[in-house]
Amino acid sequence: MKPHLISTEVLARQVYRYSRAYRLAAFVLFSFLILQVPAVVCLIYERQVGQERRTRAGQLAADAARIVSDRRALADTEKKLKRIEDLATVLRARLPISAVLGKIEQLASQDLALSQIVIDAGEFQPVQIETSLFQVPRQINVVIKGEQPAQGGDAYKHLAEKLLESLPPGSKIADASLANNQPFKTFRLVLSAPTNGNYFGLGVTKISAQNSL
Amino acid sequence: MLSDISTFLREMPVKHYLAGGLWSTKEPSLAFFIGQEKIEALVAGVRGGIGYEGSLEKDNGAPPLASGQSSLASGTGSRTLSRKLTSRYRLRKNVKHLFVVDAEKKDRFFGVNTLERLRQKSVSAALEEMHENPQQIFGSWPDETPFRWAILNREISLGTDTNPRIDEPILIFGMADELCASFESWAETQGASITAILPLSIAVLAWCNANLATKDRDSLVVVATDQGAVSAAFKRRSLIYISQDESASDAFSALEREVDALELERPARYLWALNNTEERRSIPQDLLIIDKENIQGISGESLALQEGHGKKTKHDRPIAHLLNWLVKQ
């Protein structure tokens, strides 16, 4: 039926509904828009992620500011800890003398009479901590002098070997000499040990908990 | 070109496209009969009528009445009337509207003329002149009422382009612009397109010329509606006379006087009445009244249409047959 008594404006609008050309144009447009959906979804996702990232960055910045302010209160403690840390190199290079002496006491047989024990540090290395200069030893020398009966055999050597086993790895016997006097023979043992080794062999135990102090 | 594209993007009927309009232009039709106080509708699928709604004027979203009066709250509900009807009869959402209007006398015009007498060379020129300057065409025409105009050929073919010779009779009809615009804006609220807006009398005359034996015998047809009567004379299927009268009896009296002048040979007389006429005593005896008793014989079928309650019932009132015929044109 012909569109009798219908205004040209309405007819013009109705052309959009029924004309193949306009429907094709609409189809192309809708297809184009549908193809944009993944991109739009991706964009929305990126925006959400960006938003979350910015929120997280804000939170982290706030946390960092809080930590900086908390740390400011701990600055003095931190300074002290730094000094202790710096002193570690100095403190590490030490010898538990009582343990050495105790070990010598344990290992020396009844035939041996010890006349002198000298424990001395050597091979010093200068270490600067803040404004102070420390001479840190890298080697400990243990000198033991004594006597053994003429028929005492190699008791002094046994002592030297046992003591070497107790000292940290890298230790060595520098001298083990015996003078032929009568009726007792005098001996001299010199052992050197590194200062940075562990002294567990001397019976020193590791501190496992703070309250054990 | 750019303005065309921007207009298309702005006016594009997105809902229509998304409801299937992108792929198919086969849409169901809602053919409305718009009376002064009554609105009826035939709901039609692609093959013809499916359902019939006998009194839509009470519906909140009903179209405006022929008096121009709008219904209570046009389309303010959650669903439009068109959507309700398409859902009720399980049709596609995109619909076309056809309005058959029993307009008041002041809102309508019918006339038979020739392009020669109108001093126009073509139908389009005549339409343009009637739109621009109706006084020039009709001699006198009230300025305050703009009309919309249409011209049909003498066979009253609603579906073909009119291309008559300048001495051939043509049917000129018009309806008030304001009344037509009210149907257009209502259809827009429904998201529907419009097939046509037709005066009831013209639609009936087209139906009569297509279904009655006007080809075999000269005919006098009177269309009696609530707004008076329209009389028409067909000479071997060609409309040669049309006139508006107060009543069916007046119309037949006027036709009787014109029979000789129109050179009609023993014309058949038909009366198409919207309602049961009470004037039968004053109208000719050899008259065929087109009513529910004989409509099946004229149109060749009885209309069984579903109603709102879901049951199919016979709808053999002439108006139902008319609407069913119109949606098939």
DSSP code for B65: P
CA distance A61 to chain B (A): 48
In B, which residues are within 8 Å of A26 by CB distance? 12, 17, 22
The pairing of strands B228-235 and B219-225 is: antiparallel
Cβ contact B22–A17 (<8 Å): no
In a 3-state reduction of DSSP, which class is residue B27?
Answer: coil
Partner-chain contact A7 B160, CB within 8 Å: no
Q: Which of A3, A23, A27 sits opposite B194 (nearest CB)?
A: A3
A7–B175: do the CB atoms touch at under 8 Å? no
Mutate to test the interface with A, among B11, B29, B193, B324 (most CBs of A within 10 A): B193
Whole-number Å distance between alpha carbons of B163 and B173? 16
pLDDT on residue A213? 43
pLDDT at residue B186, as a whole number: 93
Cβ–Cβ gap B21/A23 under 8 Å: yes
Question: In angstroms, what separates the C-alpha of A4 from chain B's closest C-alpha?
Answer: 5
Whether B17 has its CB under 8 Å from any CB of chain A: the answer is: yes
Task: Calculate mean pLDDT across residues A44-56.
Answer: 96
Return d(Cα B216, Cα B283) in angstroms, integer: 23
- In this prediction, residue B76 carries a pLDDT of 52
| Cα nearest neighbour of B160 on chain A | A2
With a CB cutoff of 8 Å and minimum separation 6, the contacts of B188 are A10
> CB-based contacts of B107: which residues, under 8 Å, 6+ apart?
B66, B145, B175, B176, B179
pTM of the prediction?
Answer: 0.69
pLDDT at A119: 92
pLDDT in tens, A100-137: 899 999 998 888 889 999 999 888 989 888 888 888 88
Beta-carbon separation of B13 and A17 below 8 A: yes
Partnered with residue A131 across adjacent β-strands are none
Which tokens go with B128? Answer: 């343009």
For residue A128 the two structure tokens come to 């600067």
For β-strands B268-273 and B238-245, DSSP reports them as unpaired
- CA dist., res. A65 & res. A55, Å (int): 15
Question: At residue B269, what are phi and psi to the nearest 5 degrees?
Answer: -120, 130
Measured CA to CA, the distance from residue B288 to residue B270 in angstroms comes to 5
Q: Look up residue A132 and give its two tokens.
A: 């102070």
Please tell me the distance from the alpha carbon of residue B202 to that of residue B289, in angstroms, as a whole number: 18
Which residue, among A17, A15, A10, has the nearest Cα to B177 in the 3D structure? A10
DSSP character for B164?
-
A131-170: pLDDT as tens digits: 888 888 889 999 999 988 877 678 888 999 999 998 988 8
Percent share of chain A, pLDDT over 90: 45
Amino acid code (one letter) for A46: E
- At residue A208 the predicted structure's pLDDT band, cuts being 50, 70 and 90, is low
Going from the first residue of chain B to its last (329 residues), give the mean pLDDT of each consecutive group of 10, the final group possibly shorter: 86 89 89 93 90 88 86 62 90 93 92 90 90 80 83 90 87 93 93 94 94 86 91 92 90 88 89 73 74 83 83 88 92
**Closest chain A residue by Cα to residue B198:** A4
Nearest to A10 among B98, B184, B198 (CB): B184
Q: What would the mean pLDDT of A28-36 be, rounded to a whole number? A: 92
Interatomic CA distance for residues B169 and B117, integer angstroms:
10
Do residues B196 and B158 make contact, with C-beta atoms less than 8 angstroms apart? yes
**CA B125 to CA B61: how far, in whole Å?**
39
> Which chain B residue has the Cα nearest residue A14?
B193
Of chain A residues 21-50, which have a CB less than 8 A from chain B? 22-23, 25-27, 29-30
ipTM: 0.90
Asked if A26 and B12 come within 8 Å (Cβ–Cβ), the reply is: yes
Kindly report, residue by residue over B148-194, the tens digit of the pLDDT.
999 999 999 998 887 888 899 999 999 999 999 999 999 999 999 99
Other Cβ atoms closer than 10 A to B303: 22
Mean pLDDT, rounded, for A15-39: 92
B195, A1: Cβ pair inside 8 Å? Answer: yes
Query: Which residues of chain A are within 8 Å of residue B180 when distances are taken between CB atoms?
Result: 5-7
Q: Inter-chain contact A23–B98, Cβ cutoff 8 Å?
A: no
Enter the tokens of residue A49.
């992620």
| Residue A211: per-residue pLDDT | 54
Q: How many CB atoms are closer than 10 A to CB B43? A: 24
Residue type at B161?
D
Provide the pairing of β-strand B96-101 with B193-199: parallel
Distance CA B326, CA B329 (A): 5
Residues of chain B contacting residue A7, judged by C-beta atoms under 8 Å apart: 148, 180-181, 184
Whole-number Å distance between alpha carbons of B60 and A142: 116
**Single-letter code of the amino acid located at A66:** R
Closest residue to B150, CB basis, from A5, A16, A26:
A5
Give chain B positions within 8 Å (CB) of A3.
Answer: 194-196
Burial class (CB in 10 A: 0-12, 13-18, 19+), B58: exposed
Contact assignment for A14 to B194 by CB distance below 8 Å: yes
User: From the CB of residue B313, how many other CB atoms can be counted at a distance below 10 Å?
Assistant: 12
Residue A14 has pLDDT above 70, yes or no: yes
Q: Kindly report the average pLDDT of chain B as a whole number.
A: 87
Residues B207, B327 contacting (CB under 8 angstroms):
no
Question: Across the interface, which of A3, A23, A26 has its CB nearest the CB of B195?
Answer: A3
Would you call B175 helix, strand, or coil by DSSP? strand
For residue A144, list its beta bridge partners: A117, A189
